[in-house]
């Protein structure tokens, strides 16, 4: 095995200029690393940083050697200040136990019930819109998904709390991204403005979760996810359930992941539809086959373009734009020795726009995900939900929500983009449209 894959030229000893370059332009830097080869490498002080750039290598890291490549120490240290030991961060037998307890809440038989709530919460947002009204669809989709996840997860109608909750999630996202980008991590107890800001935002979410758990325990109802996981036991393991602390960690993990990323993806959907009028018109024509009836889980097969649009948008603008891993023992990739502690990074945003794996990769072509075409795509070339045993547990939930929201909104309104030029990407925790998606709403 040879020493290191190709890497960029750095101007400072030990590549100490690379972190600043990545911080200022993460996607451009990742694209540059992709152009160096199937696997690329840079040394940053004591850290070996690798980037895997093919479906085959992604499968090796995330599936074949998933027990060797775990979540990074830095990722766990930063995210645990918010999520505790939720499903995203936990490892080994504890992760497996938590996933077994949570999985029934995301089974297909539950999705039909969730679908009804998704449409109801979409209707609540739509009712406030007027013809010729100017809207920011990132903001509107965030309100929609916030209402959905709050009701399904906690049984709460956010109402007047929507702004406080939305602001709290946004604050957490910005603070975490800053910490991921900084070279040095400061202790949580330091009274820095960003730490105080983050702690206050987490307290807002913790208060909501505590109220939801108390309501569930008092009323004895089990039709929310938080109630289900509080009542569930690990029948395949120790026969015990989750503690309140464990349930809190899972709840805040699902809440943060369950609305922020989906809202960004939906905003990008509308942006791409507005930019591609022929696709938009074809989608609306398909939606109209439902004759205005509010869609349900069973109706999705009648509007296949909704899934195609959702998947193509997730290809072009995956909310999880980077997925880092860390080698917990020495191993090998593509003929190179990967030392223990090295980082192996996957960039769905870069991979999914690679012309080797997608024809006309920068174009919005939902039909590439049609029933006749999707089988042509390599299983590990489209990875917006990650890959392998640690892939996102909420994948089917998110895809169903995207479809139902797209269909229901399209039944009531069409949008015209109220912006000249291209909307830039804003790669924070989720890949958001910078400045939102400004549109004019046209009632149908």
Task: State the average pLDDT over residues 154-176.
Answer: 84
Token pair recorded at residue 131 = 């013809």
Of 52-66, 156-170, 188-202, 297-311, give the lowest mean pLDDT range.
Answer: 156-170
> Could you tell me the pLDDT band of residue 220, with boundaries at 50, 70 and 90?
low
- Cα 442 from Cα 414, distance rounded (Å): 5
CA-CA-CA-CA dihedral for 142, 147, 150, 151, to nearest 10: -150
Of 172-181, 190-199, 409-418, give the lowest mean pLDDT range.
Answer: 172-181
- Cα 362 from Cα 353, distance rounded (Å): 6
**CATH number of the domain at 1-74+323-351, please?**
3.30.43.20
Q: Where in the chain is the domain with CATH 3.30.43.20?
A: 1-74+323-351
Q: What is the pLDDT of residues 307-365, one digit of tens each?
A: 999 999 999 999 999 999 999 999 999 999 999 999 999 999 999 999 999 999 999 99
341 sits in the region (left: phi over 0; alpha: psi -120 to 50; else beta) called left
Spatial neighbors of 309 by CB under 8 A, at least 6 apart, are 269, 272, 273, 279, 283, 366, 406
The average confidence (pLDDT) of the chain is 91
> Could you tell me the pLDDT band of residue 215, with boundaries at 50, 70 and 90?
confident
Token pair recorded at residue 266 = 């939906």
Percent share of the chain, pLDDT over 90 = 59
386 sits in the region (left: phi over 0; alpha: psi -120 to 50; else beta) called left
84-320+352-443, CATH topology level: Cytochrome p450 (1.10.630)
> Could you tell me the pLDDT band of residue 14, with boundaries at 50, 70 and 90?
low
> Could you tell me the pLDDT band of residue 2, with boundaries at 50, 70 and 90?
low
User: How far, rounded to the nearest angstrom, does the alpha carbon of residue 119 sit from its chain's CA centroid?
Assistant: 21
Q: What is the pLDDT of residues 95-114, one digit of tens each?
A: 888 888 888 888 888 888 89
Token pair recorded at residue 216 = 């569930």
Q: Where in the chain is the domain with CATH 1.10.630.10?
A: 84-320+352-443
- Cα 228 from Cα 239, distance rounded (Å): 15
Residue among 244, 254, 259 nearest 213 (CA): 244
- Cα 67 from Cα 115, distance rounded (Å): 35
């Amino acid at each position: 095995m040879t020493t290191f894959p190709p890497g960029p030229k750095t101007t400072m000893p030990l590549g100490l200029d690379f972190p600043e370059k990545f911080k200022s332009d993460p996607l451009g830097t990742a694209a540059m690393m992709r152009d160096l080869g199937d696997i690329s490498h840079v040394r940053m002080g004591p850290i070996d940083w690798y980037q895997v750039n093919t479906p085959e290598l992604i499968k090796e890291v995330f599936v074949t050697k998933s027990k060797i490549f775990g979540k990074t120490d830095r990722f766990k240290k930063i995210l645990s200040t918010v999520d505790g030991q939720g499903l995203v961060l936990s490892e080994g037998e504890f992760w497996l136990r938590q996933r077994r307890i949570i999985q029934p809440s995301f089974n297909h038989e539950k999705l039909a019930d969730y679908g009804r709530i998704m449409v109801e919460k979409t209707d609540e947002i739509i009712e406030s819109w007027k013809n010729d009204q100017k809207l920011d669809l990132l903001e509107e989709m965030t309100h929609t998904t916030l209402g959905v996840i709050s009701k399904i997860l906690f049984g709460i109608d956010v109402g007047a709390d929507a702004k406080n909750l939305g602001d709290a999630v946004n604050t957490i996202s910005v603070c975490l991204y800053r910490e991921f980008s900084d070279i040095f991590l400061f202790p949580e107890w330091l009274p820095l403005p960003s730490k105080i800001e983050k702690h206050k935002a987490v307290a807002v979410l913790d208060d909501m979760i505590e109220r939801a758990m108390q309501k569930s325990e008092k009323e004895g109802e089990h039709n929310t996810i938080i109630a289900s996981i509080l009542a569930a036991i690990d029948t395949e393991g120790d026969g015990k359930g989750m503690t309140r602390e464990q349930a809190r960690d899972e709840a805040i993990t699902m809440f943060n992941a369950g609305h922020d990323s989906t809202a960004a993806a939906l905003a990008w959907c509308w942006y791409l539809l507005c930019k591609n009028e022929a696709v938009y018109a074809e989608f609306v024509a398909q939606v109209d086959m439902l004759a205005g009836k509010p869609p349900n889980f069973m109706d999705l097969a009648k509007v296949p373009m909704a899934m195609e649009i959702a998947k193509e948008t997730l290809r072009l603008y995956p909310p999880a734009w980077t997925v880092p891993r860390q080698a917990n023992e020495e191993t090998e990739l593509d003929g190179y020795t990967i030392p223990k502690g090295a980082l192996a990074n996957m960039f769905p945003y870069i991979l999914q726009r690679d012309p080797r794996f997608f024809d006309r990769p920068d174009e919005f072509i939902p039909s590439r995900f049609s029933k006749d075409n999707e089988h042509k795509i390599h299983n590990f070339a489209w990875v917006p939900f990650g890959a392998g045993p640690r892939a996102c547990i909420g994948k089917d939930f998110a895809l169903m929500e995207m479809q139902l929201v797209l269909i229901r909104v399209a039944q009531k309104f069409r949008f015209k983009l109220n912006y000249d030029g291209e909307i830039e990407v804003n790669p924070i925790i989720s890949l958001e449209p910078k400045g939102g998606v400004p549109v004019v709403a046209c009632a149908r």
